[in-house]
A and B are shown apart, each in its own frame.
Chain A
């Protein structure tokens, strides 16, 4: 474990950013990014689960028997996901309505299980926290970027949070016609493909 904690954190932001580099956890990536705010909300919820699960898995890594480790990881992850679901319902209900089924589905998001299995179960507490935070924030930024691209093209707006609209093209250019294809499912694939393409181009230099 010669690599520094900073490295574990930073790698999640570019080198191993989940949707684009690992191409993992695409279900919520494609499903919730119709608006930037949903991408941010989903990203933050996933980050919370990721960090908490990493902490527990790392602390318990010597206690958990190897043969039932996956079952233990799932119990830990599912607990935090249910926690997020309840808290989000209680304190951010409109967001919960929009994210809907994708919140409970964080349980089966392979990014979370993947980090528990591949990283936290083999590393100490601090690197695991750094890893969870880095991957989580990378995931949040990716979702927000994809959401922003789709929202601005598909609806002409850019929503940072419930009720906080940064840009509204319809107001700026009265003749603006939103490209609705972008906020429907096929638009998600097209945008994701384009972003992957640009990231590969930028990374290949």
Chain B
């Protein structure tokens, strides 16, 4: 019986200490982690899309609820026109691919896209992020229509050797269109405060 109690006590104390330490560290690193994600993951993609922005699109942002997901929406101003960007995901060869999609709100078309996170094969699928000419094909596409690769009847030339990756990026862009359509009224409402 004594042994039983000892096992119980030791495990309980160890687990509570562990929980306490981790809660404390998480509390204290959360802010830094959010900053790191914004600056290093979405930041470069957003800045690459909105190179000519008059403001700092990473700093000017708001968030909206989309279903049970909280969506960060970044606002950029180019030649007096308002653009937004947000991130969607597609299923790639090595896992989820994050894609920031920049939308020209006035014309309802895609202003530009950029891959944020991926775990695709280096040298093949990773070109979705590293080869700017792939992402450039998305600019100007109608945000309301599904985006597809040429093999599926669309207009995007897939990366050679990385069809799954290319399809994942197009499906993320298509999803962005769906999200945009769902949230459009709210987005336009929010954008007024950025004028």
* Bound CA–CA A63/B10 (angstroms): 8
* Interface size of A in residues (CB-CB distance below 8 Å): 29
Dominant secondary structure of chain A at its interface with chain B: helix
Convert B97-132 into 0s and 1s, putting 1 for each residue whose CB lies closer than 8 angstroms to a CB of A.
000000000000000000001010111100000000
- Cβ-based interface call for A78 (8 A): yes
Q: How far is the CA of A76 from the CA of B26 in the complex (A)?
A: 17
Binary contact readout B4-16 vs A (1 if CB under 8 angstroms, 0 otherwise)? 0011001100110
Convert A165-192 into 0s and 1s, putting 1 for each residue whose CB lies closer than 8 angstroms to a CB of B: 0000000000000101001100000000
Asked if B32 and A91 sit within 8 Å, CB to CB, the answer is: yes
A114 within 8 A of B: no
Number of A-B contacts (CB under 8 A): 66
Number of interface residues of B (CB under 8 A): 25
Task: Kindly state whether residue B29 has any CB partner on chain A within 8 Å.
Answer: yes
CB distance from B3 to the nearest CB of A (A): 6
Given A75-B14, A178-B123, A183-B122, are A67 and B29 neighbors across the interface (CB < 8 Å)? Answer: no
* A155: B residues at CB distance < 8 A: 122-123
Report the minimum CB–CB distance from A99 to chain B (whole Å).
11
A65 close to B36 (CB less than 8 A)? no
Chain A residues in 8 Å Cβ range of B119: 100
Cβ of B21 within 8 Å of any chain A Cβ, yes or no, is yes
Cα A79 to Cα B19 with chains together (Å): 8
C-alpha spacing A38/B3, complex, angstroms: 45
How far is it, in angstroms, between the C-alpha of A68 and the C-alpha of B4 when the chains are bound? 10
Whether the pair A75, B29 counts as a contact (CB closer than 8 A) is no
Q: Is A23 an interface residue (CB 8 A)?
A: no
Chain B positions within 8 Å of A91 at CB level: 32
Measured CA separation A7–B8 after assembly (Å): 37
Q: Which residues from B are CB-within-8-Å of A75?
A: 11, 14-15, 18
Produce 1/0 per residue, B28-46, CB < 8 A to A: 0100110011001100000
The one of A76, A83, A89 in contact with B36, judged by C-beta atoms closer than 8 angstroms, is A89
Question: CA A184 – CA B124 in complex, angstroms?
Answer: 10
Contact B41 A79 (CB under 8 A): no
Tell me, yes or no, whether A24 is within 8 Å of chain B by CB. no
Taking a contact as CB atoms closer than 8 A, the residue among A67, A87, A90, A97 that contacts B7 in the complex is: A67
| Chain A residues at the B interface, C-beta cutoff of 8 Å | 34, 63-65, 67-68, 71-72, 75-76, 78-79, 82-83, 86-87, 89-91, 93-94, 97, 100, 154-155, 178, 180, 183-184
**Contacts from B to A (Cβ < 8 Å):** 3, 6-7, 10-11, 14-15, 18, 21-22, 25-26, 29, 32-33, 36-37, 40-41, 117, 119, 121-124
What 10 pairs across the A-B complex have the smallest Cβ distances?
Answer: A93-B36, A90-B29, A79-B18, A90-B32, A89-B33, A68-B7, A65-B7, A86-B29, A75-B14, A93-B40
